[in-house]
């Protein structure tokens, strides 16, 4: 297979100091991701395989963010109430960005770039000043039931500049590196037993090659990462006691890569709950934030209490605060009440001192 070249787009800081730096892969000059007013950039070659965004941490080196998933219901099922509390907590924590774990628009994604659901489920809902930061979004299985390219289109970014959705990509903050993975194409049943659903597999087929490339690129990027904290984000669960349970394909194909590369957190949605499961096999923690709107499914499977640290079958969201030595995770309900806290510390290496 011929090697590919990638490019780095350095955006002019005169327009927006907070806008990330984009690394585009596979020889494609993805200038269309950038609004036309952002033409102040230079291009240099890069060896990156996944699209990479540089997002600066705070001046003191710390980072704060919110995570929400499974939300896009035009404000229904308490989506508006969750958004309100996100705005309050976002201001309190002075967040740097927001992560969406997918299923961004129900029930069947967007039907095009002019679908009013984008405004009605995103722009009109997340209006708090603290939420006007960059949103990094992955696709969920419901998003694949619509026009996938619409969510990936630069047109949406021109309509709402905080929106950014790609398949698989990296956000580097130096202190932590976030690896976003397109998990829907891994799941066999969407191909073998789609029922009455029609999935948009444009850009995915041939599937075997697509998945192989995703895994290879992720493994390489994780191995090359020098970040203090490595965090992987996908839509589907790896481990969960919720309705969907474990995703077998991710346990077989993705989990070994995360464990081999000392990933600290795997963050997902898909199950409409808030959940924290630890691992007996590695320090890896599994965090589900899929309570952005419809929840309360009422079906929770038994899980080893030594691993199950927290489960909440309702709406809410999650915050993550990161420093060189510590990660703090907090889950909140629809009223903003703290439901669960978890922390991990690491020593500063001698190379940093």
d(Cα 106, Cα 88) in Å, to the nearest integer?
Answer: 25
Q: Where are the alpha helices (DSSP H) in the chain?
A: 79-93, 117-118, 148-152, 154-159, 189-192, 207-224, 248-253, 255-260
Cis peptide before 200 (omega within 30 of 0): no
**272 labeled binding residue:** yes
Check whether 77 is labelled as a binding-site residue: no
Annotated binding residue at 270?
A: yes
Tell me: is residue 143 an annotated ligand-binding position: no
Q: Which of 23, 244, 276, 340 is catalytic?
A: 244
Is 197 assigned to a binding site? no
Nearest to 138 by CA among 182, 105, 173, 170: 182
Active site residue 142: no
Rounded to 5°, the CA angle 99-238-169 comes to: 40
Instruction: Provide the 10 A C-beta neighbour count for residue 170.
Output: 22
Specify whether the CB–CB gap between 96 and 127 falls below 8 A.
Answer: no
Radius of gyration of the chain (CA): 19
d(CA 194, CA 121): 25
Residues in the annotated binding site: 70, 103, 106, 141, 235, 270, 272
Binding positions for Fe cation are 70, 103, 106, 141, 235, 270, 272
What residues are annotated to the active site? Answer: 244
């Amino acid at each position: 297979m011929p090697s590919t070249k990638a490019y780095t787009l350095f955006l002019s800081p005169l327009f927006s100091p907070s806008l990330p730096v984009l690394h585009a892969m596979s020889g494609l000059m993805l200038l269309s991701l950038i609004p036309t007013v952002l033409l102040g950039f230079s291009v240099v070659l890069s060896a990156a395989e996944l699209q990479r965004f540089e997002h600066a941490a705070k001046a003191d080196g710390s980072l704060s963010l919110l995570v929400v998933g499974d939300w896009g219901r035009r404000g229904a099922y308490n989506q508006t109430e969750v958004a309100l509390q996100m705005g309050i907590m976002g201001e309190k924590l002075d967040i740097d960005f927001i992560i969406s774990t997918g299923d961004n628009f129900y029930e069947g994604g967007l039907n095009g770039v002019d679908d009013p659901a984008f405004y009605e489920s995103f722009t009109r809902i997340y209006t708090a000043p603290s939420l006007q930061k960059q949103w990094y979004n992955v696709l969920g299985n419901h998003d694949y039931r619509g026009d996938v390219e619409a969510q990936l289109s630069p047109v949406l970014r021109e309509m709402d500049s905080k929106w950014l959705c790609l398949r698989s990509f990296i956000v580097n903050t130096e202190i932590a590196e976030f690896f976003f993975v397109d998990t829907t194409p891994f799941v066999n049943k969407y191909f073998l037993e789609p029922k009455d659903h029609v999935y948009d597999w444009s850009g995915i087929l041939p599937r075997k090659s697509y998945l192989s490339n995703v895994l290879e690129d992720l493994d390489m990027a994780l191995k090359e990462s020098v970040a203090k904290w490595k965090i992987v984000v996908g839509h589907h669960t790896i481990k969960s006691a919720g309705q969907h349970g474990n995703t077998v394909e991710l346990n077989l194909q993705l989990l070994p890569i995360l464990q081999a590369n000392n990933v600290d957190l795997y963050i997902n949605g898909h199950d409409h709950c808030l959940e924290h499961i630890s691992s007996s096999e590695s320090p890896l923690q599994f965090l589900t934030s899929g309570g952005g709107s419809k929840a309360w499914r009422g079906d929770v499977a038994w899980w080893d209490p030594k691993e199950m640290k927290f489960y909440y079958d309702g709406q809410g969201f999650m915050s993550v605060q990161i420093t060189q030595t510590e990660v703090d995770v907090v889950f909140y309900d629809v009223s903003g009440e703290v439901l669960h806290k978890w922390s991990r510390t690491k020593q500063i290496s001698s190379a940093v001192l």
